[in-house]
Structure 1
């Protein structure tokens, strides 16, 4: 990956809806080389996909919480079952496995406190291998959806 590839990535992080023509102009390449580089960045996995960034409040998911999970068991099968169960819960926006205690950090979005409480009791507390859940509410997003520093 060279400086031109980094410029392409930076432009797309800023605006993923750029046409290849617009992108080529911004990174000062002709259309064909820009298109080839773009396809190679997609093929290599540097670009994993394109999507719109939504406003959670506008779509009715303004309530967010961080949930810390401590596992009772951490054998391979239990961890795999736990992680697959997380994938199947759409309100889990992010799930990160951590070193140390706690074992996982989840970012959850729901409509309100009542919806979070139902999700917590009915889904999160019943996940395989969970010993303890601890949660805190998100008061404000200070840095959110930041582009990677290239």
Structure 2
């Protein structure tokens, strides 16, 4: 990946709706080479997709929490079952496996405290292999959805 590829990626992170013509102009390439580079970046997986970034408040998801998960057992089958179950919960918008304790960090969005409590009691607490859940509420976003530093 060279400097031009990084410029293409940086521009797409700012605005994924750019046309190839607009993108080519911003990175100072002609249309065909820009298009070839973009397709190659997509083929190699540097660009995983395109999507709209929604405002959670605008769609009624004003409550956000971080849930730390400590596993009771971490054998391959339990971990696979836990991760598959977490992936099926739409309100889990981010899930990360960590080194050490806790084992996982889940970012959860919901309508309000009552909806979070229901999700916590009915889905999170029943996940396979879970020993302990610990949650904290997000007060404010200081940095959110920042572009990758290229």
TM-based fold match above 0.5 = yes
What's 1:75 paired with? 75
Deviation >2 Å, runs of 4+: none
* Separation in structure 1 between the aligned mates of residue 25 and residue 80 of structure 2, nearest angstrom: 46
Q: What TM-score, normalized to structure 1?
A: 1.00
- 1:91 is the counterpart of 2:91: yes
In 2, Cα distance between equivalents of 1:76 and 1:144: 33
Distance in 2, matches of 1:101 and 1:87, equals: 21
Pairs within 5 Å for 1:22-41: 22-41=22-41
Q: TM-score, normalised by structure 2?
A: 1.00
Q: What residue ranges of structure 2 are gaps of 5+ in the alignment?
A: none
What's the counterpart of residue 18 of structure 1?
A: 18
CA deviations over 1:99-140 (Å, ceiling 9, x no partner): 000000000000000000000000000000000000000000
SS of the equivalent of 2:65 reads strand
Aligned 1:1-150 pairs, distance under 5 A: 1-150=1-150
Deviations 1:69-100 (A, max 9, x none): 00001000000000000110000000000000
Work out the CA distance in 1 between the residues paired with 2:58 and 2:142. 18
Where does structure 1 lack aligned partners over 5 or more consecutive residues?
none
State the 1:62 CA deviation: 1.0
Residue 25 of structure 2 aligns to a residue whose secondary structure is helix
Q: For residue 52 of structure 1, give the secondary structure of its aligned residue in structure 2.
A: coil
> How many residues get paired?
150
Q: How well do the aligned residues superpose, as a CA RMSD in angstroms?
A: 0.2
